[in-house]
Structure 1
């Protein structure tokens, strides 16, 4: 395990909502992040697939970790998410990538996949902007 991954996991452990949901940081490198959530019945909506708010939470986290790995202590300013198909399966996997990183902001993208029987299917795609905490406004 890398020092950056250990650091990322320690930050995740301080976020009560993420720990309540069961989100795990599985990869954390400069400009890249991957998070995983094993789906439970309480994560599902009335049709039996991952709740849209949960998919959005995974997107926000992937964007934040990908950009934050290069930007430092930062928060999400905004993000857009396109839902593509229902999140049906055993787990959700969120992958984020920093596209552009400046001194006070980063633009990132993410993809959310549902893992079912060893196959990943794209559930949602998004893009967002992060801002450094305490600088830039």
Structure 2
């Protein structure tokens, strides 16, 4: 696939996910084994202290990990497991999740993801995640 075909395909996948549509997530970039997801912050995504809710950061990391693993294996994929470490409160206008496959085999990929909050054009690392992504079995 060309870089533009990857972006078009990734956007179609996001458009097919009702939850991603609800949140308004967009593809920033996508290539084999790599993805960037973007989410504009809005009041509905905040917790009581005005930070992005941890579930929003977790969703972005989970989805980015799966995109990275799926593109690395050239397959539909699912998250088998992941862990996330929250480093600082996410405050800003935009969240960006950048994930990459660290290693990919025939049926699974191990991926990592960094989640950034962007405020005034400055990115701050807010969370890191790692996960195992598995190829979707075609029964």
Query: Do these two structures clear the TM 0.5 threshold for a shared fold by scoring above it?
Result: yes
The answer to whether the 8 A contact 2:69-2:134 is kept is no
Q: How many residues align?
A: 135
Rounded to whole Å, the distance in 1 between the matches of 2:125 and 2:19 is 24
Rounded to whole Å, the distance in 1 between the matches of 2:67 and 2:48 is 30
Aligned residue for 1:114? Answer: 117
Alpha-carbon RMSD = 0.9
Q: List runs of 5+ in structure 1 lacking aligned partners.
A: none
Aligned partner of residue 85 in structure 1, secondary structure:
coil
Aligned residue for 2:66? Answer: 64
Q: List runs of 5+ in structure 2 lacking aligned partners.
A: none
Structure 1 stretches of 4+ moved >3 Å: none
1:16 to 15, 18, 21: 18
Rounded to whole Å, the distance in 1 between the matches of 2:70 and 2:137 is 14
Rounded to whole Å, the distance in 1 between the matches of 2:79 and 2:65 is 8
TM-score under structure 2 length normalisation: 0.95
Rounded to whole Å, the distance in 2 between the matches of 1:64 and 1:134 is 15
Aligned residue for 1:129? Answer: 132
1:84 to 2:87 alignment: yes
Q: Deviations over 1:42-82 (max 9, x none)?
A: 00000001000000000001101111112111100000000
Rounded to whole Å, the distance in 1 between the matches of 2:135 and 2:32 is 16
Aligned partner of residue 2 in structure 1, secondary structure:
helix
Aligned residue for 1:47? Answer: 49
TM-score under structure 1 length normalisation: 0.96
Rounded to whole Å, the distance in 1 between the matches of 2:72 and 2:103 is 10
Rounded to whole Å, the distance in 2 between the matches of 1:70 and 1:107 is 10
Rounded to whole Å, the distance in 1 between the matches of 2:13 and 2:33 is 16
Rounded to whole Å, the distance in 2 between the matches of 1:114 and 1:10 is 25
Aligned partner of residue 36 in structure 1, secondary structure:
strand
Rounded to whole Å, the distance in 1 between the matches of 2:137 and 2:128 is 29
